A and B are shown apart, each in its own frame.
Chain A
Amino acid sequence: MSNRIFILGDRAVYAAFIIIVLALPLLVDDVFWLNRIAKYLVFGMLGLAIALSWGYAGILNLGQGLFFGLGAYMIAMSLKLQSYTSLQQGSDKPIPDFMLWNAEPGAPTDLCCITPGSWLWIPFQAQWFGMAMAVVVPVVFALIIGSTIFRLRVSGVYVAIITLALVLLARLLFIDLQPVTNGFNGLTDLGWLTIAGIEFDPFMVATYYIIAVSVCVVLLLSRWLISTRAGLILQSTRDDPNRSRYLGYDVASYQVFFFTVSAGIAGFAGMLFVIVSEFATPTYFDIAFSISMVVWAAVGGRSSLIGAALGAILINTIEASVSESEMFQQAWRLIIGIVFVLVVLYMPRGLAGLARDVLARVVALSQRTGGKDSQSSHTAAE
């Protein structure tokens, strides 16, 4: 009985989310806010990716920024080559401006050899290549990292520390490899995404829809993924990996699969973020950013995909709003710190858990007044 209500409630939340996200341009007549919301929707995707690996697989990835950053850089390379200034650097083929900067005197003005490693950019002259790599590269890296970690049965906090060290390493390399990455300044001054001759201005309603539809699709796909048998088996490996092994499942392959899916989503999110914000920087590899994603997911509800996504969107929207009042600017981080400690202490299942408990209370109350026995409030159908 109560189970049905939870499933219905769950569906209602998804439906409401999708309807609101898709109808938003009709309500918000301000392209600036649309662009802002598009960015937060991308963060919502990141929260969702964390929930997928952390909530459902028990894998806390403190280096998710690695995959986000890789995705961002891949598309940014393509868009950089499309920018007007890249065509202006004294060659008939596009050359990113910073490469001239880093070029050795006398180096030919060509992507092949202007700086050491600049040849890596050659295929990115095709935009579709950058778009594809934005997902492929994070996925390949995640496959390699994931299979190493999980085949060796590294688990729990050690996964967190390895991923943390990895993202630090990536940050170091991206800053140091200036001839290829433009170092600390990152890739800026990008062209706009162009599909079928249409340029997608980040502040255009159409661009908003690219993001909005992507987020909805990823959300639904992830939801489908966790409700498949594979999703169920994954959750079993989180609870008791040994039991799963004795049932005949190769636990590592499930962990690698979902770790990789989560990384792929993060890479995709990185790509979308570049499309709406027009730049990629090594700060995507900052530890603070990766931990922020975990914070969003924890506040929203680590074991609810939509909860984690809403957590990310909510926190960022509030943050943007309070930053407009001088007094709050300083206090905001303090508040976020306090809220976060409280959530971990008293609301480990986050806002989604809270909503569920409230619904359970309501159900129990209505059943009691209806003269029936109140049932167990828990359900695992997420």
Chain B
Amino acid sequence: MSNNRRNFLKQTAAYGATAALGPGLWASAARAESEIDVGVLFSLTGGLSIVEQSLADATLMAIDEINAAGGVMGKKLNPIVEDGASDARTFNERASKLVLRDRVPTVFGCYTSASRKAVLPIFERRNNMLFYPTYYEGFECSKNVVYTGAVPNQQLSNYIPWIINTLGKKKFFIVGSNYIYPREMAKVSKILIEQNGGEWVADEYLELGHSEWGAMVSRIKSSGCDVVLSNVVGDSVIAFYREFRNQGLTHDQLPICATVTSEIEIAAMGAEVAAGSFTSFPYFQAIDTTANNDFVERYRRFVDDSSAVTQHALECSYFQVYLWKQAVEKAGEVTPDAIREGIKGQTFDAPNGKVTVDGENLHTFLTPRIAQWGGDGQGEIIDEYPEPIKPLPYVAYGETDGDLFCSAAGLDSSRL
């Protein structure tokens, strides 16, 4: 991306109109005030607002807490909240507003990969920072994004062996929504399944938002599989689990092992439908530590809803603000470049435990966990990695701990 920046600088030199946006001007006069503006960009309206509103709330809660504790370097944070309206087009526009007009040094936001992809060019071209709190498919190596959610290896590398060895299930039916995240998860899963001596019998996709699962579930029934690996996203999850039950399948005999079904979807489908199924995430609301119980409590108070649920992306939305604060304090100035340098290697005690930002690829060390859903809509954590594991965004292409494709120098494209 450094080449992009050089292009950009050349551009700004050539056309005076954009000169005011030059990266060097972040610390200009206006920034000397007592507040630091930061962007918060999630869908507050539209279909995705169901999840994204809660991510925005968690972000704002962290900002509130930081401000109550005296702010960052003595300055209060001033969140500028924008609505992505569940639409990539709107995300793109709102992001450009935050970056170009409000000139925030960082934006916290985006949930879907599609929205991240839609805003990415703005952050790269204008050299700004995006803190992205969602688990995603990997295959990205941007100097302008700090990824605090899980990448496939952090959700799958203990999950698949566990399913095969502990659960004793060997024939996988892989099903997902039809877009990149589920397809990439399937790719990584297949590698892991074969490494661990299992096999996959099908790899099927349905339109996002599809709610008619009759044919798919009947195909699952007749496929001879003994476990379903679900990468189904959004509201189709609910229709899927319900149809699964309606066709008489039970999680005892044929469990659904999901990578994206979180507390929010479980609450929406009715806990009894999912009881007995599994999900892998670094964070569950049920993590029984003082830190997490406190966090859940504070969050419920913050949104004024005593039954509000927390989940993985929500927790990331929260702790990434603290990571950001530490980065700014370490760097001593509030510019995107300083924040990028400052964030490297930052560690924070998040509700799920210790999290660390990798100095090379700007992804985050997280602890994989597996939970089984109970009748109360909460997961019971039945397997947990002993320590946070290193994020490998290119694991599907052979990336390993000792051999990173994406480093501080950029992507080593010869490896792909």
Contacts and interface: CB of A to CB of B under 8 A. Distances in A.
Interface of A: 30-33, 35-36, 39, 84, 88-90, 97-98, 100-102, 109, 172, 175-176, 178, 182-186, 188-190, 199, 201, 203-206, 277-279, 281, 283-284, 320, 323-324, 326, 329-330, 333
Contacts of A206: 15
A32 B97 contact: yes
Given A32-B97, A88-B411, A283-B89, A184 B179 contact: yes
B226 interface: no
Given A175-B207, A199-B11, A333-B45, A183 B180 contact: yes
Interface residues of chain B: helix, strand, loop or mixed (majority) = helix
B184 A101 contact: yes
15 contacts: A88-B413, A183-B178, A189-B120, A190-B121, A201-B18, A204-B15, A204-B17, A204-B18, A205-B17, A206-B15, A279-B118, A281-B114, A283-B87, A323-B94, A329-B83
A200 to B, nearest CB: 10
Given A101-B180, A199-B7, A283-B89, A32 B96 contact: yes
Contacts of A326: 81
Given A186-B88, A203-B21, A320-B93, 7 more contacts: A33-B101, A84-B4, A90-B415, A185-B180, A203-B100, A283-B88, A330-B44
Interface of B: 1, 3-4, 7, 11, 15, 17-18, 20-21, 44-45, 81-83, 85, 87-89, 92-94, 96-97, 100-101, 113-114, 117-118, 120-122, 124-125, 139, 178-180, 183-184, 207-208, 411, 413-416
Nearest to A205: B17
A30 B413 CA distance: 38
Given A32-B97, A33-B101, A283-B88, A90 B121 contact: no
B96 A201 contact: no
Nearest to A91: B413
A199 to B, nearest CB: 6
B18 A185 contact: no
B414 A186 contact: no
Nearest to A187: B117
A289 B178 CA distance: 21
Given A32-B101, A100-B416, A277-B89, A186 B117 contact: yes
A70 to B, nearest CB: 16
Interface residues of chain A: helix, strand, loop or mixed (majority) = helix
B159 to A, nearest CB: 21
Interface centre among A172, A206, A323 (most CB of B within 10 A): A323
Given A32-B101, A101-B184, A186-B118, A201 B83 contact: no
Contacts, number: 124
B118 A281 contact: yes
Given A184-B114, A188-B121, A279-B118, A323 B83 contact: yes
Contacts of B3: 84
Contacts of B44: 329-330
A185 B178 contact: no
Contacts of B184: 101
B7 to A, nearest CB: 7
B131 to A, nearest CB: 19
B205 to A, nearest CB: 8
Contacts of A281: 88-89, 114, 118
A178 B183 contact: yes
Contact of A278 (B20, B92, B97, B179): B92
Contacts of B20: 31
A36 B45 contact: no
Nearest to B17: A205
* Top 4 A-B residue pairs of the complex, sorted by shortest distance between their CB atoms: A184-B179, A32-B101, A32-B100, A188-B117
B59 to A, nearest CB: 15
A188 B415 contact: no
A186 B415 contact: no
A189 B121 CA distance: 5
A185 B97 contact: no
A232 B101 CA distance: 46
A278 B3 CA distance: 18
Interface centre among A36, A88, A175, A190 (most CB of B within 10 A): A88
A185 B114 contact: yes
A30 B17 CA distance: 9
Contacts of A204: 11, 15, 17-18
Given A32-B97, A186-B114, A279-B121, A330 B45 contact: yes
Contacts of A90: 413-416
B78 to A, nearest CB: 14
A45 to B, nearest CB: 16
A283 B87 CA distance: 7
Contacts of A185: 113-114, 117, 179-180
Contacts of A333: 45
A204 B11 CA distance: 10
Nearest to A171: B207
Contacts of A39: 93
B100 A98 contact: no
Nearest to A188: B117
A31 B178 contact: no
Given A189-B117, A204-B18, A329 B92 contact: no
B179 to A, nearest CB: 4
A51 B230 CA distance: 46
Contacts of A100: 416
Nearest to B121: A278
